[in-house]
Amino acid sequence: MFADVIVDINNVEVDKIFEYSFSDCDIKIGSRVAVPFGQKIIEGVVIGVKEVSKFDPEKIRPIHRLLEKTPALTEETLSLMEYVCKTCYVTRAAALRLFLPSEMRKGKVKEQFNRIVSYIDGLDVNVAVTTLRKTAIKQKELLYYLAENKKCNFTVLAERFGASAVNGLVEKGYAIITTEKRIRSPYKGIDAQNKNVELTEKQKKAVNSVVNSDKSVSLLFGVTGSGKTEVYLNLINRAIEKGKSAIMLVPEISLTPQMLKQLRARFGDNAAILHSGLSAGERFDEWWRLRNGEAKIAIGARSAIFAPLENVGIIIIDEEHDGSYTSESAPRYSTVEVAKYRAEYCGAKLVLGSATPSVESYKYALDGVYNLIELPDRINKKPLPEVEIADMRKEVRRGNNTPFSSVLKTELENCLSKGNQAIIFLNQRGYSKTVICTECGHVQKCDSCDVSLTYHKEDESLLCHYCGAKYKMITACTECGSPFIRYGGTGTERVVDELKKLFPSARILRMDRDTTQSKEGHFKILNKFSAREADILVGTQMIAKGHDFPFVTLVGILDADMSLHFSDYRSGERTFQLLTQVAGRSGRAEQSGKVVLQTYSPDNPVLRYAINYDYENFFKQEISIRKATAFPPFTDVVRILISSEDDDRALSATKAIYEELSYIYNEQREKFRFFGCMKAPLKRLQNKFRYQVLMRINANDRELLDKVFISVDKYKNRTVLISMEVNSNNLT
Closer to ligand ADP by CB, 319 or 360: give it. Answer: 319
Closer to ligand ADP by CB, 227 or 633: give it. Answer: 227
Asked if 224 touches ligand ADP (CB under 6 A), the answer is yes
User: For residue 404, which of 571, 553, 538, 245 has the smallest C-alpha distance?
Assistant: 538
Asked if 477 touches Zn ion (CB under 5 A), the answer is yes
Contact stretch for ligand ADP (CB under 6 A) within 16-24, 144-152, 199-207, 281-289: 199-207
Neighbours of 659 (CB within 10 A): 10
User: For residue 392, which of 407, 380, 379, 377 has the smallest C-alpha distance?
Assistant: 407
Contact stretch for Zn ion (CB under 5 A) within 240-248, 319-327, 482-490, 537-545: 482-490
For residue 38, what are the contacts with CB-CB under 8 A and spacing of at least 6? none
Asked if 199 touches ligand ADP (CB under 6 A), the answer is yes
HEC assignment per residue over 408-445:
HHHHHHHHHHCCCEEEEECCCCCCEEEEEECCCCCECE
Q: Which of 328, 479, 616, 659 binds Zn ion (CB under 5 A)?
A: 479
Q: Which residue is nearest to ligand ADP (CB)?
A: 229
Asked if 252 touches ligand ADP (CB under 6 A), the answer is no
Q: Which of 4, 43, 103, 230 binds ligand ADP (CB under 6 A)?
A: 230
Look at residue 200 and give the partner it binds from Zn ion, ligand ADP, none, a contact being a CB closer than 5 to 8 Å depending on partner kind: ligand ADP
Q: Which of 71, 168, 225, 556 binds ligand ADP (CB under 6 A)?
A: 225
In whole angstroms, the minimum distance from the beta carbon of 435 to Zn ion comes to 11
Asked if 705 contacts 661 with a C-beta cutoff of 8 angstroms, the reply is: no
In whole angstroms, the minimum distance from the beta carbon of 442 to Zn ion comes to 4
Q: Which of 9, 330, 467, 474 binds Zn ion (CB under 5 A)?
A: 467
Q: Which of 30, 44, 101, 227 binds ligand ADP (CB under 6 A)?
A: 227
Beta bridge partners of 182: 112
Q: Which of 195, 381, 472, 501 binds ligand ADP (CB under 6 A)?
A: 195
For residue 512, what are the contacts with CB-CB under 8 A and spacing of at least 6? 429, 492, 539, 540, 542
Look at residue 464 and give the partner it binds from Zn ion, ligand ADP, none, a contact being a CB closer than 5 to 8 Å depending on partner kind: Zn ion
Asked if 465 contacts 732 with a C-beta cutoff of 8 angstroms, the reply is: no
Contact stretch for ligand ADP (CB under 6 A) within 137-145, 196-204, 272-280, 607-615: 196-204
Q: Sheet of 594-599: strands edge to edge? A: 386-391, 594-599, 552-557, 421-425, 536-539, 508-511
**Applying CB under 5 A, what is the total number of residues that bind Zn ion?**
15
Asked if 35 touches Zn ion (CB under 5 A), the answer is no
Q: Which of 6, 437, 538, 595 binds Zn ion (CB under 5 A)?
A: 437
In whole angstroms, the minimum distance from the beta carbon of 209 to ligand ADP comes to 16
Asked if 203 touches ligand ADP (CB under 6 A), the answer is yes
β pairing state of 454-456 and 461-463: antiparallel
For residue 389, what are the contacts with CB-CB under 8 A and spacing of at least 6? 597, 599, 602, 607, 611
Cite the DSSP H helix spans in 242-279: 256-267
C-alpha dist (Å) from residue 513 to 249, 427, 488, 569: 22, 11, 20, 26
User: Could you give the 3-state DSSP secondary structure of residue 708?
Assistant: helix
Interatomic CA distance for residues 638 and 697, integer angstroms: 7
Q: Can you state the angle between helices 615-629 and 571-583, rounded to 10 degrees?
A: 170
In whole angstroms, the minimum distance from the beta carbon of 500 to ligand ADP comes to 33
Look at residue 197 and give the partner it binds from ligand ADP, Zn ion, none, a contact being a CB closer than 5 to 8 Å depending on partner kind: ligand ADP
Look at residue 222 and give the partner it binds from Zn ion, ligand ADP, none, a contact being a CB closer than 5 to 8 Å depending on partner kind: ligand ADP
Look at residue 454 and give the partner it binds from ligand ADP, Zn ion, none, a contact being a CB closer than 5 to 8 Å depending on partner kind: none
Contact stretch for ligand ADP (CB under 6 A) within 152-160, 227-235, 441-449, 590-598: 227-235
Residue 548: alpha-carbon gap to chain centroid: 20
Q: Which of 482, 527, 612, 666 binds Zn ion (CB under 5 A)?
A: 482
Asked if 449 touches Zn ion (CB under 5 A), the answer is yes
Interatomic CA distance for residues 382 and 385, integer angstroms: 9
HEC assignment per residue over 632-693:
CCCEEEEEEEEEECCHHHHHHHHHHHHHHHHHHHHHCHHHEEEEEEEEEEEEEECCEEEEEE
User: Could you give the 3-state DSSP secondary structure of residue 573?
Assistant: helix
User: For residue 694, which of 613, 618, 622, 630 has the smallest C-alpha distance?
Assistant: 630
Asked if 442 touches Zn ion (CB under 5 A), the answer is yes
Closer to ligand ADP by CB, 124 or 198: give it. Answer: 198
- The sign of the CA dihedral 625, 546, 278, 522 is positive
101-106 own/partner pairs: CB under 8 Å, 24+ apart: 101/274, 101/280, 101/283, 101/284, 101/287, 103/280, 103/281, 103/283, 103/284, 104/32, 104/72, 104/284, 104/287, 105/8, 105/43, 106/43
Q: What is the CA radius of gyration of the chain?
A: 30
Asked if 136 contacts 168 with a C-beta cutoff of 8 angstroms, the reply is: yes
Contact stretch for ligand ADP (CB under 6 A) within 96-104, 225-233, 495-503, 716-724: 225-233
Asked if 520 touches Zn ion (CB under 5 A), the answer is no
In whole angstroms, the minimum distance from the beta carbon of 609 to ligand ADP comes to 20
Q: What φ, ψ does residue 648 adopt, rounded to 5°?
A: -60, -45
Interatomic CA distance for residues 241 and 74, integer angstroms: 23
Q: Which of 68, 310, 388, 439 binds Zn ion (CB under 5 A)?
A: 439
**Applying CB under 6 A, what is the total number of residues that bind ligand ADP?**
15
Look at residue 300 and give the partner it binds from ligand ADP, Zn ion, none, a contact being a CB closer than 5 to 8 Å depending on partner kind: none
C-alpha dist (Å) from residue 306 to 229, 315, 339, 351, 353: 22, 11, 9, 16, 19
Look at residue 224 and give the partner it binds from ligand ADP, Zn ion, none, a contact being a CB closer than 5 to 8 Å depending on partner kind: ligand ADP
In whole angstroms, the minimum distance from the beta carbon of 198 to ligand ADP comes to 6
Interatomic CA distance for residues 22 and 623, integer angstroms: 57
Closer to Zn ion by CB, 75 or 447: give it. Answer: 447
Region of residue 162 (left: phi > 0; alpha: psi -120 to 50; beta: else): left
Contact stretch for ligand ADP (CB under 6 A) within 75-83, 221-229, 243-251, 319-327: 221-229
Closer to ligand ADP by CB, 354 or 563: give it. Answer: 354
Q: What φ, ψ does residue 480 adopt, rounded to 5°?
A: -115, -5
Closer to ligand ADP by CB, 111 or 616: give it. Answer: 616
List the interface residues with ligand ADP, window 334-393 (CB under 6 A). Answer: 379
Q: Which of 168, 222, 313, 602 binds ligand ADP (CB under 6 A)?
A: 222
Look at residue 449 and give the partner it binds from Zn ion, ligand ADP, none, a contact being a CB closer than 5 to 8 Å depending on partner kind: Zn ion
Contact stretch for ligand ADP (CB under 6 A) within 147-155, 226-234, 434-442, 694-702: 226-234
67 exposure class (CB count in 10 Å sphere: 0-12, 13-18, 19+): middle
Q: Which of 92, 97, 140, 228 binds ligand ADP (CB under 6 A)?
A: 228
Closer to ligand ADP by CB, 195 or 397: give it. Answer: 195
List residues binding ligand ADP (CB under 6 A).
Answer: 195, 197-200, 203, 222, 224-230, 379
List residues binding Zn ion (CB under 5 A).
Answer: 437, 439-440, 442, 446, 448-449, 464, 466-467, 469, 477, 479-480, 482
